[in-house]
Amino acid sequence: MTSFSLQHQAFEPNWFAALDPRTRLLAAVFFTLSALCLSALWPLIALLALALLLTILLGCQWRLIIKRLLAFEGFMVLVLLFLPFTVAGKPWFAIAGMEASYQGVIQALVILLRGNAVVLALLALVGSMEPVKLGYALAGLGIPEKLVQLFMMTVRYIGVLFDEHQRLRTAMKARAFVAGSNWHTWRSYGHLLGMLLVRSMERAQRISGAMRCRGFNGKFHLLTPVKWHRRDTAVLTLAVLLFLLPLEWQWWQYGF
């Protein structure tokens, strides 16, 4: 039975693992904002190269990175296929009587480069962070307490629900269930979702009772509050300056 995890493994340098988690989260936010402000191809290529450099320096495992990128690239393929034919502009080429505009192709490439750069940066900066540490970082940044609690509970029990789903699927296979395009298959999947929902509600009630027995009053107490140090300021400043370089290039080269 495979386990479910929201993070990917990485051989992080010691100095990076010792940073305040808010540093990594803020660096990811600044990188995303920089990518959203870019609209020229060469600065976006430079930003993508910077994201690739981050994944190398921070010890990300390329096998897992590529695996998680495949799902994103599936959506990007649709953008590349249809966007050039839906954006008005100077005709570039035609397929089956449909004309693709030069502006549409450029816009599709911009979206492709921007999306891949952001995804790689998020996987490098935040993807290897423990979910609990990410929750502490969100709380330290002043995110509403209810949202942080919801995130922490989701992280804690989404794996439990995934294991429950796997057990139900194993039970179906033990009864010689074979998926197909027929009424029996859809009815079986409906029963699977129904049983998963019922068991989730039962488990939620047991968890709620156990938390009340331990004195839970609706407030999560952080066991190890995050602390900001001078090295965090230095690393975040350096990261922001690096992320601003493609923006400066776009400004001086293209004037926007």
- Reduced to 3 states (helix: H, G, I; strand: E, B; else coil), residue 95 is strand
Give the type of residue at 55. Answer: T
**Quick one: pLDDT at residue 1?**
47
Q: What is the pLDDT of residues 194-237, one digit of tens each?
A: 988 888 888 888 888 888 888 877 777 767 777 888 999 999 99
Cα angle at 216 between 210 and 220, to 5 degrees? 120
**Integer Cα distance of 228 and 94 in angstroms:** 56
Token digits of residue 159: 């794996």
Q: What is the pLDDT of residues 13-32, one digit of tens each?
A: 778 878 888 999 999 999 99
**Quick one: pLDDT at residue 31?**
95
pLDDT at 53 over 50: yes
pLDDT at 9 over 70: no
Helix axes of 131-140 and 145-174: crossing angle, nearest 10 degrees? 160
**Quick one: pLDDT at residue 236?**
93
- For residue 243, the surrounding DSSP H or E stretch is helix 230-254
Taking residues 78-94, what's their average pLDDT? 73
**Residues 187, 181: contact at Cβ < 8 Å?**
no
**Quick one: pLDDT at residue 2?**
52
pLDDT at 40 over 80: yes
For the entire predicted model, the pTM comes to 0.78
pLDDT at 170 over 70: yes
Sequence spans of domains, the chain: 14-129+226-254, 138-213
Q: What is the pLDDT of residues 136-164, one digit of tens each?
A: 888 888 888 888 888 888 888 888 888 88
